[in-house]
Every structure is written in C-alpha cells, then in structure tokens.
Amino acid sequence: MAFVPSALPRVLDIARELGPALDKALILVSRLGGVGETLPNPHLLIAPFLRREAVLSSKIEGTQASMSDVYKFEAGGGRAHSEDVREVINYIHAVNWGLEKIASLPICIRLANEMHARLMVDVRGHDKRPGELRNKQNWIGKLKTPIEMARYIPPPHNMVPDLMSDWEKFTNEPSVIPVLVRCALMHYQFEAIHPYEDGNGRIGRALIMLFLRQEGVLSTPLLYMSAYFEAHDDEYRDHLLRTSQTGDWQPWIRFFLEGVAVQAQDALDRSLKIRELQDDFNQRLQENRASANAFRLLEPLFTNPYVTVPGAAEYLGLTYAGAQGVVRRLSQTGILKKDSGRWRPALFVARELLNVLE
C-alpha cells in the first residue's frame, strides 16, 4: 500500500480564520524584503543566513554539524574528513547553484535534479541515483524500519514522473491562490511525492526559498524555514502526514504561515543585530585609529566570523607579517579572539558576531 497524492488544486477556498495568519506573514515578509533592498552589501547577510539554513536543514535529517564546524572548515581550520560538514557544504553549494539558475531557469524537475546531484556529491547517499528521480519504492520510518512498519509510503516510482510534472506546472503557472499558500502546497506535494531515494527533505526545504525568490516575494534570499521546522520537528512531520490522511489543507497551511511569520521576524531581528554590530566594530576601529586594512578585514568576517592569518594575508594582499599585524589590531579592540582549539594555522573568531548568527 502506498499513498498517491492528488493533483495540486488550482483553486482553493482558504478558511476565513486563516486570514490573520496570512496577513501577518505577508507583512513580515514584505518588511524583510525591504531590508534586503536597502542593504549596501546584501552578501553580509545572505552568506550567514544560508549557512544557518544548511546546518538546520541537515540537522533535521540527522546530520551533526554546527555553524562553527562549517565556518572553521571554510576558514581552513576544520576537518575535511568530516562527512557531516561535507553534507552541509554540499547543501550550500546546491542552494547557491539554484539561486544562480532561477534567473534563467524556472523551478522545475531539471532544477531540482541538478540541485540534488550537487547535494549528494561524495556523502551518504552518493550511490542513490543523485540527480535522478527514483526508480524503486522508498518509505519513511525509523532507521532500519521495514516497509511493513513504515510511517509513510510515497507513491510507486513509475508514478513519480507524472506527479512531478503536475508539481512543476503548478509551481510555474499563473494562479489566484496567494503566493505563500501556493508555497505551502508546493512544499507539501514535493514531500508527499518523495521523488528521490535520499535527500528529499533538504531539497524540498531549499525549494521554499527559491520559490519565494522566483515569485518576487523576496528580493534577497533571507527567509528560510528549516529553523522553524527543526524547532517543531514532530509537528512538522505530523502536519504533512495528516494532510495526506485527511485531505484537509487548512491545518498545514496555518502551520506553514505561522512558520513564515516566525522566521521572517527572526531574520529581521538578526539583520538588525548584525548591522548594529557592524557599526560597533567600525566605531571601535575608528577610536583605535586602525589602518584601512583593518576596516577591510571586517567585511569577510561578516561572511565567515573565523579567520586565519594566511587567510587574511590572501584577502588583503599583504605579507604574513602585515596580515598578522591587522589581526592583532582587531584582537586588541576585542573584535577577534583566538580560538581555543589546536588549529594549524591558528583560528581567530569574532565571537560576538558568531553568537548572533548561531
């Protein structure tokens, strides 16, 4: 026995009681979009927000890697052999690739496949048809659970192409359904179809942000849902299952809209704290009459709060001794602190910034 979802509805009566939740989510997403448009350098927020999403989306699937682990790896001080970190890095690469492509390629099966191929490079699941729709039955349950005891059994593999074709049409055709509600339906359907042997959850969650970008709701990719789904993991999975069991969209839509509002507000709060911290760091350097290179090193710190002296030398175009002096000045102002780990080369971290990001 397997569940075969119906085609997504092109017209949907939204319960009146969902109106306030929809209005609140729209208002907060609009405010977040305004923040993205006013940033002089949006990358200062895009990079850390994406890394947080990558860590939390992977955590839902059982990956144990922190933002610090990812940042240390990218700064040159992490363990390259850590498979959990590689899975998070792959997620970042897959989403960045998707962000580049949606300017010319709509959200479609091909886009999802190519993101999936990048997600599965040299990690667990690399042997499970990366970049291709599944060709056998899969199921959802606890580790090593037989199909007879599965929590959920997606549709047979021979039905997946047609189901995904309808999903693709729904995602791109004009609609009278509000865009955030369409996003909730799109995400549910992808998870219900479960088109890949592995990696479905991560691709499905990444497509939420890409869909909102495609529809013009987000000018800058700052809204991610994995933090909300991870904090309400059981509720998230239960809502998806109950929608399949009952055919009632309203509880899932309410949960999704509440999550959008929570994450949009969280992104607004974090954006404000990051910008305030950026102003504070600049003020400290001004008061200490720091060199222009010290100010220049602030920008990559907001992309990755960890730095090494060789990394600073490469970025600034300085000798090792020159970069060492810049790092020392940032340490004297309290912006950087030497990490306690035994890293070679030594790692320095902007701890206040890391606290905001984590």
pLDDT of residue 41: 73
Same domain, yes or no: 182 and 330:
no
Same domain, yes or no: 144 and 35:
yes
pLDDT of residue 236: 97
Structure tokens that stand for 295 in this block = 């100010």
Mean pLDDT of 119-146: 92
pLDDT of residue 79: 57
Same domain, yes or no: 185 and 304:
no
Distances (CA, A) of 191 to 49, 78, 111: 23, 33, 16
Same domain, yes or no: 155 and 51:
yes
Band the pLDDT of 187: cuts 50, 70, 90: very high
Same domain, yes or no: 168 and 300:
no
The answer to the question of residue 208 being in a domain is yes
What CATH number corresponds to the domain at position 74?
1.10.3290.10
250-278 per-position pLDDT tens digit: 999 999 999 999 999 999 999 999 989 99
User: How far apart are the C-alpha atoms of 177 and 181, rounded to whole Å?
Assistant: 7
What CATH number corresponds to the domain at position 309?
1.10.10.10
Same domain, yes or no: 175 and 239:
yes
User: Sign of the C-alpha dihedral, residues 271, 338, 299, 288?
Assistant: positive
Mean pLDDT computed over every residue of the chain:
93
198-227 per-position pLDDT tens digit: 999 999 999 999 999 999 998 889 999 999
Same domain, yes or no: 167 and 293:
no
User: How far apart are the C-alpha atoms of 272 and 165, rounded to whole Å?
Assistant: 41
Same domain, yes or no: 209 and 332:
no
pLDDT of residue 119: 97
Band the pLDDT of 171: cuts 50, 70, 90: very high
Identify the residue with better confidence: 197 or 40. Answer: 197
Domain housing 323? 288-357
Same domain, yes or no: 75 and 108:
yes
The answer to the question of residue 282 being in a domain is no
76-116 per-position pLDDT tens digit: 865 555 889 999 999 999 999 999 999 899 999 999 999 99
pLDDT of residue 40: 67
301-354 per-position pLDDT tens digit: 998 999 999 999 999 999 999 999 999 999 999 999 998 877 788 899 999 999
User: How far apart are the C-alpha atoms of 267 and 218, rounded to whole Å?
Assistant: 12
Same domain, yes or no: 114 and 247:
yes
The answer to the question of residue 7 being in a domain is no
Same domain, yes or no: 165 and 49:
yes
Whole-model pTM over 0.95: no
Same domain, yes or no: 170 and 297:
no
